[in-house]
Amino acid sequence: LLGSAGAAGLAVGAVGGALGQQALAAPAAGTGGSTGAALGRATIPFHGPRQAGILQPAQARVQLAAFDLADGAGGTGSRDGLRKLLRQWSATAARLARGEDAPSAENQIARDAGPCSLTVTFGFGASLFDKTGLTDRRPAALAPLPDFPEDAIDRARSDGDLWVQIGADDALVAFHALRVLQRQAAGTATLRWQMAGFGRTPGATPHPMTGRNLMGQVDGTNNPKPGQDGFEEKIFTGGDGWFAGGTYAVVRRIRMLLDNWENLPTDRQERVIGRRKSDGAPLSGGTETTAVDLTARGADGALAVPADAHIRVAAPGSNGGAAMLRRGFSYADGVLADGSPDAGLLFVAFQADPMKGFVPVQRKLARGDGLSRFIRHESSGLYAVPPGAPEGGYVGQALLD
Ligand code: HEM
């Protein structure tokens, strides 16, 4: 469940808002390919009604991080610090997204590179509201996620007061932005955890196509798409409070048991997901984008998409319409003590209400998903992602001013 179609290859060169609109649309055939310097120049504006980094195709690189407010001043004092930090972070993110030159005193990691479709997305953890005396303004659904069967959650790499997602089509650009934000936070907030992820690089395939995850599956096909009926309501919050137009991000580090997975013959791998590995077509027939027919049966009378296939168990139709916008990245961080790869998926999913999106689906997946034998959820976070900031404003302003 990486982000949707690797349309980023297409998007480079597209400037600004158009990208947001096109975000998850299926890539047009016959375009893309060579990207050259256009990849460096591509910009996604920081300001707008939605934060950047939600609707745009996932970039080739991501840095995910969470920060905790520094101990010391509680209540109003820390609220002042938070306000100042978010103002500074927003201004910096906007400047970097425009590709404006960094001050020469800066670390210069991204010197020579363009913005490379940099996006910076900010989210607030439940703990932030208590620490700043704003408990009564905490969004209703920002409660800790429940424990799921088979969870193996490392709390030190979970949660956090502030969440930051930095995407870019260049690894140096993404890391640079993280370092700049981290240095600006000094004295106000400290880094709690950080994870680096990646996806397909624009231009790597002869034409833009849906990306693959580290299990080799075509991943992102059946993501909800802007413009589809009910998309806005399912992904963004309504109402008129400070959080109207925001969304909730569920972040899970999911390790893949790749040695076990790769020992499974391809036809069995396909039955675990319910789609063909070569091209992502559902086992009920057709091509990648053909609607899945969960009632279809094979010549032997058995369900074409098995009862425990991931796409059957996760489908909105099996979960009272539950939907989320998945925008994940792969990670690969060396080997574990037992020699197995520490690699998998940095699952990021946006939804208007986690209790109607991630939670019911994960409850069901944890019980009955054939894929669960090959994965471990190792960290977890839920963050309220405020609406975007208008030009001159900062993310979270309606809460803090
Ligand atoms: C679909 C892989 C975890 C929710 C898919 C597909 C693949 C996939 C290959 C089919 C293509 C597509 O439509 O995107 C994985 C892997 C996971 C994982 C490798 C873990 C490492 C999760 C989790 C959730 C989830 C934790 C949510 C709790 C979904 C949903 C769909 C989907 C909603 C679309 C189902 C449909 O409507 O057809 N996933 N997934 N997945 N996945 Fe996952």
Torsion region of 9: left, alpha or beta (phi above 0 gives left; psi -120 to 50 gives alpha): alpha
Closest C-alpha to ligand 1, atom 39: 1
- 320 CA to centre of ligand 1 in angstroms: 16
**Lowest-confidence region among 16-25, 123-132, 159-168, 188-197:** 16-25
Cross-strand pairs, 162: 67, 124
Closest C-alpha to ligand 1, atom 7: 219
Q: Which of the residues 219, 308, 353, 369 is marked catalytic?
A: 219
What gap in Å lies between CA 157 and CA 250, rounded to an integer?
A: 14
Q: ∠ at Cα 276 (345, 370), nearest 5°? A: 55
Name the token pair of 57.
């195709």
- Detail the DSSP E strand segments found in 114-244: 119-124, 162-168, 189-198
Closest C-alpha to ligand 1, atom 24: 362
Q: Please list, in sequence order, all residues whose beta carbon lies within 8 angstroms of the beta carbon of residue 225, skipping any fewer than 6 positions away.
A: 4, 24, 25, 26, 231
Is residue 361 over pLDDT 60? yes
| Model pLDDT, residue 25 | 36
Which atom number of ligand 1 is nearest to the Cα of residue 252? 26
Looking at beta carbons, which pairs linking 130-138 to residues 24 or more positions away fall under 8 Å?
131/69, 131/74, 131/78, 131/161, 132/69, 132/75, 132/76, 132/78, 132/79, 132/82, 133/74, 133/75, 133/76, 133/79, 134/79, 134/399, 137/241, 137/242, 137/399, 138/384
- 361 CA to centre of ligand 1 in angstroms: 10
pTM: 0.92
Q: Per residue in 242-260, pLDDT tens? A: 999 999 999 999 999 999 9
Name the token pair of 130.
């208590």
The ipTM is: 0.99
Question: Which residue carries 């909800």 as its tokens?
Answer: 224
Is 154 a catalytic site residue?
no
Task: Average the pLDDT over 277-282 and give the result.
Answer: 98
Residue 225's closest CA among 51, 5, 2, 43? Answer: 5
Q: Per residue in 76-104, pLDDT tens? A: 668 999 999 999 999 999 999 999 976 76
What gap in Å lies between CA 54 and CA 171, rounded to an integer?
A: 19
78 vs 120, more confident: 120
